């Protein structure tokens, strides 16, 4: 055995105890490598020098045309390439939309829990270790399938999500987009000792400091940045939701856009989507917060276009994240009947009363109906291009967006947001709710993972569903913390 290989193995064995912290709630039994499925997942050998000692598996639909997209999908700790292939839903959309998928695999030979080394500079840096092996897989697949080098994307779950963020930072010239599911911001940890702290609560850095970690991963890079989707369950106690906030701060800063969403809407599975547009009005970063979901990849078994996957350990029934990620990347474009309907234009407030708001917008060709969202929650599905929202509170601001729905029930792009304030006044009224609910209701806002009351800007603590405060509104639109009592 070569001395370099021996040193590598000894280092892996010695770190077993530390790695147990990295995946504390995951199974401690490593799974065996998958066998290639007949006509499905196939192992590929000889894809390069493979400095990270990974295995390459791929799925490519029959008759795949040249210049098709390419997706790289990374599994989580204790999982295999076959687990991700079987449960994530990516093969369904590879067939439907026409692209190849590479499933890299690490094993217990690299890591006792089969985790990708998102916390190890020797594995996740440009030109090194596992990151370099994955890019070699990309190059091999591009040559084998004639894939479009401008449309290569990477997605990952948990440790695979952490590695995804690192790959996007280290190789923005390779990946046009990424999707981080229950993962970590790029370069959150650079040692195993720091990895556990990242999982439960990443460093409290400014967006610019998080962005610097990306810019420092490939110094001097001046090309376009990847478009990034961020998926997170609000009840994830393995990789805490604060990581999604840090990821949002990191990539919006890299894009040079603010941390206030351009629009927010509600999707199936109690999922809130926040969209952050670039200077041209195109989504650059999207966050998907799945209420009540724990640690895992969101799937939604079924035969619908927007349904996918199989429930299993760390594949959780909520929403087909793979579908929405693919649409965000534009993988559905150019297919028969594919592609999102455009956003309704001309959304405006047609009138308000003390308890109602009337809206109108321009028709979208081929729309079967429309989804109206108030403060991120779907409230109606009218077939007309007008809607009156009733039962509202006097003197209260409400935020609205509208999306067109096609004949299959698939929602299109969400319109820009409009705000309507009902007549009357609620000055002196008190509201007791979680920090998350206060933000959703428009009484507070977030910055850097913390919540601040609108008006007074008082710090209310972390942005989550566990911290509860009472806010008093006085005057209208100005809120103060009133936990000790709220006399009106």
For residue 209, report the phi and psi dihedrals to the nearest 5 degrees: -70, -40
Q: Are 43 and 36 in contact (CB under 8 A)?
A: yes
Rounded Cα distance between 224 and 141, Å, is 22
Give which of 150, 59, 61, 144 is closest to 102, Cα–Cα.
59
- Cα–chain-centroid distance for residue 382? 29
Rounded Cα distance between 245 and 232, Å, is 10
86: how many CB neighbours lie within 10 A of its CB?
A: 19
Specify burial of residue 157 (Cβ count, 10 A radius: 0-12, 13-18, 19+).
buried
Give which of 280, 264, 282 is closest to 403, Cα–Cα.
264
SS3 label, residue 152: strand
> What is the DSSP secondary-structure string of 202-259?
-----HHHHHHHHHTTSTT--SPPPEEEEEEETT-SSS-THHHHHHHHHHHHHHT--S
The CB-side HSE value for 367 (13 A sphere, CA atoms) comes to: 25
Catalytic: 158?
A: yes
Catalytic residue among 88, 125, 133, 158: 158
**Angle 159-170/207-215 helices, nearest 10 degrees?**
70
Q: What share of the chain is helix, strand, coil (3-state, %, to 5)?
A: 25, 30, 50
Rounded Cα distance between 214 and 29, Å, is 33
Strand order in 430-434's β-sheet? 430-434, 468-473, 479-481
> Under the phi-then-psi rule, with left for phi > 0, alpha for psi from -120 to 50, and beta for the rest, what region is 321?
alpha
Bridge partners, residue 373, by sequence: 378, 401
Query: 384-389, long-range: CB within 8 Å, 24+ apart, which pairs?
Result: 385/344, 385/360, 385/361, 386/350, 386/358, 386/359, 386/360, 386/361, 387/358, 387/359, 388/356, 388/357, 388/358, 388/359, 389/356, 389/357, 389/358, 389/359
DSSP H or E segment with residue 20: helix 16-22
Catalytic residues: 158
């Amino acid at each position: 055995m070569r001395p370099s290989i021996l040193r590598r193995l000894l280092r892996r064995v010695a770190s077993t105890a530390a790695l147990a912290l990295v995946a504390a709630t995951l199974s401690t039994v490593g799974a065996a490598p998958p066998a290639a499925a007949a006509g499905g997942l196939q192992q590929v050998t000889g894809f390069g020098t493979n400095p990270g000692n990974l295995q390459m598996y791929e799925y490519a639909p029959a008759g795949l045309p040249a210049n098709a997209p390419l997706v790289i999908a990374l599994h989580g700790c204790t999982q295999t390439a076959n687990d991700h292939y079987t449960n994530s839903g990516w093969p369904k959309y590879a067939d439907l939309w026409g692209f190849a998928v590479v499933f890299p695999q690490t094993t217990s030979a690299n890591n006792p829990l089969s985790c990708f080394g998102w916390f190890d500079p020797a594995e996740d840096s440009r030109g090194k270790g596992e990151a370099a092996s994955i890019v070699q897989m990309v190059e091999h697949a591009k040559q084998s399938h004639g894939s479009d080098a401008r449309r290569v994307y990477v997605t990952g779950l948990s440790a695979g999500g952490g590695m995804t963020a690192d790959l996007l930072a280290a190789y923005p010239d390779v990946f046009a987009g990424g999707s981080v599911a229950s993962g970590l911001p790029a370069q959150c940890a650079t040692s195993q000792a720091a990895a556990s702290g990242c999982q439960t609560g990443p460093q409290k850095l400014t967006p610019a400091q998080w962005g610097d970690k990306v810019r420092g991963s490939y110094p001097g890079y001046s090309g376009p940045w990847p478009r990034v989707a961020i998926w997170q369950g609000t009840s994830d106690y393995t990789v805490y939701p604060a990581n999604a906030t840090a990821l949002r701060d990191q990539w919006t800063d890299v894009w040079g856009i603010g941390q206030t969403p351009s629009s927010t809407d509600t999707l199936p599975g109690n999922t809130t989507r926040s969209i952050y547009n670039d200077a041209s009005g195109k989504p650059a970063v999207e966050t998907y917060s799945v209420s009540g979901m724990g640690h895992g990849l969101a799937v939604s078994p079924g035969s619908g276009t927007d349904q996918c996957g199989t429930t299993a350990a760390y594949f959780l029934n909520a929403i087909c994240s793979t579908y929405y990620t693919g649409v965000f990347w534009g993988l559905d474009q150019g297919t028969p009947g594919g592609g999102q309907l455009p956003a309704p234009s001309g959304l405006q407030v047609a009138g308000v009363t003390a308890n109602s708001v009337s809206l109108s917008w321009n028709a979208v060709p081929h729309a079967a109906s429309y989804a109206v969202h108030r403060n991120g929650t779907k409230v109606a599905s009218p077939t007309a291009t007008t809607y009156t929202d009733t039962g509202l509170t006097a003197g209260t601001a409400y935020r609205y967006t509208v999306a067109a729905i096609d004949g299959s029930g698939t929602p299109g792009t969400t319109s820009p947001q409009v705000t309507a304030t009902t007549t009357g006044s609620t000055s002196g009224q008190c509201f007791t709710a979680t920090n998350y609910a206060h933000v959703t209701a428009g009484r507070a806002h977030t910055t850097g993972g913390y919540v601040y009351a609108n008006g007074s800007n008082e710090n209310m603590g972390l942005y989550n569903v566990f911290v509860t405060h009472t806010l008093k509104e006085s005057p209208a639109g100005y809120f103060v913390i009133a936990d000790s009592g709220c006399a009106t």
